[in-house]
């Protein structure tokens, strides 16, 4: 037996165990990324809307308007963590950020900042930073706030009134709050956000949920001056501050069309970067966190980790720019969050913290609220690492060398495409299905890259790929066999 094959066999044996039954032989997500659940005191309704490190503790904001500080959040045993109240009486805090000793909180009605001056663990000062948008008391009027960008701004995405209309100013918009408290209108077209965050380059993205003008949940790029899909807030283009910041109102899209058809007619329209096919990848996309830990969280550096509230999951997203626009693939990562995944926060030690709630919408996670910590065990799962578009197909990279025989067998892959109706009605079924043909498969010399030459690529379609037959050099199947690439633009 060759040395490489012997090593592969030893790796497989170590992963699955020599005495395991056939059903128990394959590793699970928990072998690589176990979830540790915090014991939240019964007196604390956590419903974690925002997470942020503050004065050495994990600050957790809640939908009910409280902020708690969690001590010992990084301890090996999360059950030693202690919760203490930092502030109360705020309004649905769905974003936390820290700067110069202040904890900034994005509330439904404003961005505020809080400080503990006397060191007793409670906020002594609460200041209004910016309150230039409106609310009218509707249940759905969420305001999700980002961390600080490189210029010191907080980006805020504002849900439509009732998630359908824009009855008060800036509902359905993204705005930036500057360090001196000014508000800059930034993007129109928001519907019902679930989270906002940055990639490793500092570009800003948010998740929007299925509904009017959103065929399925998706990840969207927030670029100043752009329109991201839902025209319900177009009426506010007449405001003087919007005219000066944004220019003229875009042409309204045609209901019943397709997003890429309209994007070619409307220069301001930034198409959805990545769709999360409904319900295959969940039903309510939520928080965003970028792995900038340089390998402390495993082999997925610079990828985005995105939650789904309904399915209590975390997904991976790998992005690339094609013809000046972001697009890419979503890949399953981890299920089993205690409640409905809402907020995500990395720590520099390699931990990912996930807050959850199921109020208003049910979730697979059975708890009414939760706080979980995820750490990498150091073992690398066999996964599709990334999926990239090519002029004539796709390039797949893997976390381990593949078995060349199974990787080169076209019967081991299943590829289909579809898109969504871009319409004012709620959501969309999958439409315009096609079945491309994999004509050629090339495996790289290091066996970690597979090139699929495909006939029948469809611009504007999700390309759903299942690698059911592929195995690693060690004989393992993929931990997650599927990837969903949103091919808005085919590379030159």
Q: Model confidence over 187-198: pLDDT tens digits?
A: 999 999 999 999
Answer yes or no: is pLDDT of 250 > 50.
yes
Helix (H), strand (E) at residue 240: helix 240-246
* Structural class in CATH, domain 33-374: mainly beta
| 8-state DSSP, 429 | -
The mean of the pLDDT values for the chain is: 95
pLDDT for the residue numbered 9: 46
Give pLDDT, residue 21. Answer: 45
Give residue 10's pLDDT band: very low, low, confident or very high (50, 70, 90): very low
Instruction: Decide if 103 contacts 147 (C-beta within 8 A).
Output: no
Are the CB atoms for 452 and 396 separated by under 8 Å? yes
Q: Is 60 exceeded by the pLDDT of residue 8?
A: no
User: Would you state the pLDDT for residue 25?
Assistant: 81
Question: pLDDT band at 215, cuts 50/70/90?
Answer: very high
Return the DSSP state at 231: G
Of 479, 466, 478, 480, the closest CA to residue 403 belongs to 478
Q: What is the pLDDT of residue 2?
A: 43
Strand blocks (E) in 107-203: 111-115, 125-130, 143-148, 154-158, 173-177, 183-188, 193-198
Q: Would you report the helix, strand and coil content of the chain in percent, each value rounded to 5?
A: 10, 40, 50
Task: Tally DSSP H helices, then E strands, for the chain.
Answer: 4, 32
Please tell me whether residue 257 adopts helix, strand or coil conformation. Answer: strand
Q: Which 8-state DSSP code applies to residue 165?
A: B
Mean pLDDT of 247-272: 97
Tokens in use for 99? 């700067």
Provide the residue ranges of all domains of the chain, joining segments of one domain with +. Answer: 33-374, 382-487
Residue 426 is classified by DSSP as: B
From residue 378, alpha-carbon distances to 38, 129, 146, 249, 297 in Å are: 22, 42, 30, 51, 8
Beta bridge partners of 484: 330, 464
Could you report the per-residue pLDDT of 233-243, keeping only the tens digit for each?
Answer: 999 999 999 99
Three-state DSSP at 286 gives strand
- Beta strands 125-130 and 143-148 are unpaired
Tens-digit pLDDT profile for residues 98-139: 999 999 999 999 999 999 999 999 999 999 999 999 999 888
* CA–CA separation, 434 and 197 (whole Å): 33
pLDDT surpasses 60 at 463? yes
- CA-CA distance, 457 to 416, in Å (whole number)? 10
Each residue's pLDDT tens digit, 349-398: 999 999 999 988 899 999 999 999 999 999 999 999 999 999 999 999 99
Counting Cβ atoms within 10 Å, is residue 109 exposed (0-12), middle (13-18) or buried (19+)?
A: middle
Task: Determine contact, residues 306/292, Cβ cutoff 8 Å.
Answer: no
Note the pLDDT tens digit of each residue in 23-48: 458 999 999 999 999 999 999 999 99
List the Cα angle 342/347/349 in 5-degree steps.
Answer: 145
Please tell me the predicted confidence (pLDDT) of residue 365: 98
Contacts of 203 (CB under 8 A, 6+ apart): 221, 223, 326
Strand order in the sheet with 143-148: 143-148, 154-158, 173-177, 183-188
pLDDT at 274: 99
Q: Per DSSP, which regions of 8-124 are E strands?
A: 35-37, 48-54, 57-62, 67-71, 82-87, 96-99, 102-106, 111-115
3-state secondary structure of 174: strand
- Domain with residues 382-487, CATH architecture: Sandwich (2.60)
Q: Answer whether residue 17 shows pLDDT above 60.
A: no
**Rg of the Cα trace of the chain?**
23
CB 268 within 8 A of CB 225: yes
For position 201, what pLDDT does the model report? 98
pLDDT one-digit tens code per residue, 401-454: 999 999 999 999 999 999 999 999 999 999 999 999 999 999 999 999 999 999
Percent of the chain with pLDDT over 70: 95
**Quick check: do 33-374 and 382-487 share a fold?**
no
Q: Does residue 490 register a pLDDT over 50?
A: yes
| 3, pLDDT greater than 60 | no
């Amino acid at each position: 037996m060759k040395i490489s094959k012997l090593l592969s066999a030893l790796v497989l044996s170590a992963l699955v165990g020599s005495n395991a039954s056939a059903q128990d032989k394959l590793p699970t997500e928990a072998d690589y990324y176990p979830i540790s659940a915090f014991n939240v005191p019964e007196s604390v309704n956590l419903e974690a809307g925002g997470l942020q490190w503050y004065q050495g503790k994990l600050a957790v904001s809640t939908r009910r308007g409280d902020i708690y500080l969690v001590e010992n959040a990084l301890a090996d045993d999360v059950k030693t963590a202690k919760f203490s109240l930092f502030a109360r009486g705020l309004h649905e805090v769905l974003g936390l950020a820290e700067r110069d000793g202040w904890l900034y909180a994005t509330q439904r009605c404003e961005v505020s900042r809080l400080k503990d001056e006397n060191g007793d663990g409670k906020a002594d000062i609460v200041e209004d930073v910016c309150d230039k948008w409106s609310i009218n008391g509707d249940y759905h009027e969420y305001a999700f706030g980002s961390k600080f960008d490189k210029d010191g701004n907080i980006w805020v995405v504002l849900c439509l009134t009732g998630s359908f209309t824009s009855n008060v100013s800036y509902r359905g918009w993204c705005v930036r709050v500057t360090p001196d408290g000014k508000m800059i209108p930034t993007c129109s077209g928001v519907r019902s956000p679930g989270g906002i965050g940055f990639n490793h380059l500092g570009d800003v993205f948010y998740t929007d949920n299925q509904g009017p003008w959103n065929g399925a949940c998706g990840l969207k790029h927030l670029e100043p001056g752009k329109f991201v899909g839902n025209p319900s807030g177009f009426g506010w283009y007449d405001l003087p501050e919007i005219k000066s910041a944004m220019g003229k109102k875009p042409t309204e899209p045609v209901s019943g069309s397709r997003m890429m058809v309209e994007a070619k007619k409307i220069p301001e329209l930034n198409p959805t970067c990545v769709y999360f096919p409904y319900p295959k990848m969940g039903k309510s996309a939520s928080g965003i966190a970028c792995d900038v830990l340089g390998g402390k969280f495993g082999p997925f550096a610079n990828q985005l980790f995105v939650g789904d509230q309904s399915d209590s999951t975390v997904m991976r997203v790998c992005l690339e720019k094609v013809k000046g626009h972001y697009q890419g693939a979503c890949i399953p990562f981890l299920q089993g969050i205690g409640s409905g995944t809402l907020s995500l926060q990395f720590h520099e030690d390699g931990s990912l913290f996930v807050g959850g709630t199921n109020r208003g919408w049910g979730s697979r996670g059975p708890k009414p609220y939760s706080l979980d910590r995820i750490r990498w065990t150091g073992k690398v799962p066999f996964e599709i690492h990334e999926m990239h578009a090519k002029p004539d197909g796709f390039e797949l990279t893997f976390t381990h060398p593949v078995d060349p025989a199974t990787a080169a067998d076209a019967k081991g892959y299943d590829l289909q495409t579809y898109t969504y109706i871009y319409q004012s009605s709620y959501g969309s079924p999958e439409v315009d299905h096609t079945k491309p043909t994999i004509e050629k498969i090339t495996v790289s010399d290091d066996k970690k890259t597979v090139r699929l030459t495909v006939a029948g690529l469809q611009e504007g379609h999700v390309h759903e790929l299942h690698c059911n037959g592929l195995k690693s050099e060690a004989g393992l199947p993929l931990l997650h066999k599927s990837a969903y690439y949103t091919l808005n633009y085919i590379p030159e």
